[in-house]
């Protein structure tokens, strides 16, 4: 089952999508795998053997603790999905077990794709090691066009730089995505760039005037 809507999905539309999607549509052994660095995933022969492809984007979005905290808030309020053609209900909680729906405009119809938060991780920096990070990963549910997992993270590194990162592994889960997978891959890369721009816009707008 694939969830379509000819108009921008209403709350009733995406709530119905979530209610009808109970189980994950990818292998249990890969549940939570997106928490690992890209280098580790690329060495996992099982992922490539099972047909998964990676999508990765890491962008410098600011510097300092204040920018990091604002970036974390941006993820928790789904500002990284603040796009004209893609959105998530901003009230969705970033906590393990939370189900939500990504709504994406594709040509004429909107597509609603159900997911569930698989993990949430946060690391607090120390004086001797000023490294902090916040991330969460979500897995695809039955009814999603793809099968796999995606992680969004914000990180303050040892150089006081703030990075926004998207990492996912996925493969077609429906005949539509199988036939159009080259297009799907391009859309994933386009979303990664647009999402990074949305986070940058939020951080810049949040800065106090001089």
d(CA 155, CA 168): 17
Helix spans in 43-180 (H): 45-49, 65-76, 175-179
In total, the chain counts a number of residues equal to 210
Q: What is the count of structural domains for the chain? A: 1
pLDDT tens-digit readout, 48-93: 999 999 999 999 999 999 999 999 999 999 999 989 999 999 999 9
Query: In which residue are the tokens 């949430």 written?
Result: 120
Q: Tell me the average pLDDT across 89-115.
A: 93
Q: In the prediction, which pLDDT does 67 show?
A: 94
d(CA 125, CA 115): 30
- Going by C-alpha positions, the residue among 139, 86, 133 that lies closest to residue 117 is 139
**Contacting residues for 207 by C-beta, under 8 A, at least 6 apart:** none
Percent of all residues in the chain with a pLDDT value above 70, rounded to a whole number: 95
Burial class (CB in 10 A: 0-12, 13-18, 19+), 30: buried
Pairing assessment for the beta strands 110-123 and 132-140 based on DSSP bridges: antiparallel
> In this structure, what CATH number is given to the domain that contains residue 37?
3.30.530.20
For the chain, the average pLDDT equals 91
Q: In the prediction, which pLDDT does 128 show?
A: 55
Flag whether pLDDT at 27 surpasses 90: yes
Residue 129's pLDDT band (cuts 50, 70, 90): low
- Going by C-alpha positions, the residue among 53, 59, 84 that lies closest to residue 188 is 53
Q: In the prediction, which pLDDT does 41 show?
A: 93
Can you give the residue range of the structural domain that contains 64? 3-206
The total of other beta-carbon atoms located within 10 Å of residue 98's CB is 16
d(CA 203, CA 19): 34
Q: In the prediction, which pLDDT does 210 show?
A: 43
d(CA 59, CA 197): 9
DSSP H or E run through 183: helix 181-206
């Amino acid at each position: 089952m694939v969830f379509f809507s000819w108009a921008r999905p209403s709350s009733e539309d995406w709530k119905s999508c979530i209610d009808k999607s109970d189980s994950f549509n990818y292998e249990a052994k890969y549940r939570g795998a997106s928490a690992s660095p890209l280098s580790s995933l690329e060495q996992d022969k099982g992922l490539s053997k099972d047909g998964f492809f990676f999508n990765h984007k890491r962008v410098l979005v600011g510097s300092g603790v204040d920018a990091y905290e604002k970036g974390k808030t941006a993820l928790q309020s789904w500002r990284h999905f603040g796009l004209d053609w893609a959105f998530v209900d901003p009230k969705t909680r970033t906590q393990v077990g939370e189900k939500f729906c990504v709504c994406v405009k594709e040509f004429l119809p909107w597509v609603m794709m159900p997911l569930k938060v698989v993990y949430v991780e946060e690391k607090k920096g120390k004086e001797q090691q000023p490294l902090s990070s916040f991330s969460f990963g979500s897995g695809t549910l039955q009814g999603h066009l793809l099968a796999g997992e995606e992680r969004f993270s914000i990180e303050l590194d040892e150089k006081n730089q703030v990075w926004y990162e998207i990492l996912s592994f996925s493969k077609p889960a429906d005949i539509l995505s199988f036939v159009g997978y080259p297009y799907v891959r391009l859309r994933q890369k386009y979303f990664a760039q647009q999402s990074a721009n949305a986070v940058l816009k939020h951080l810049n707008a949040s800065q106090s005037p001089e």
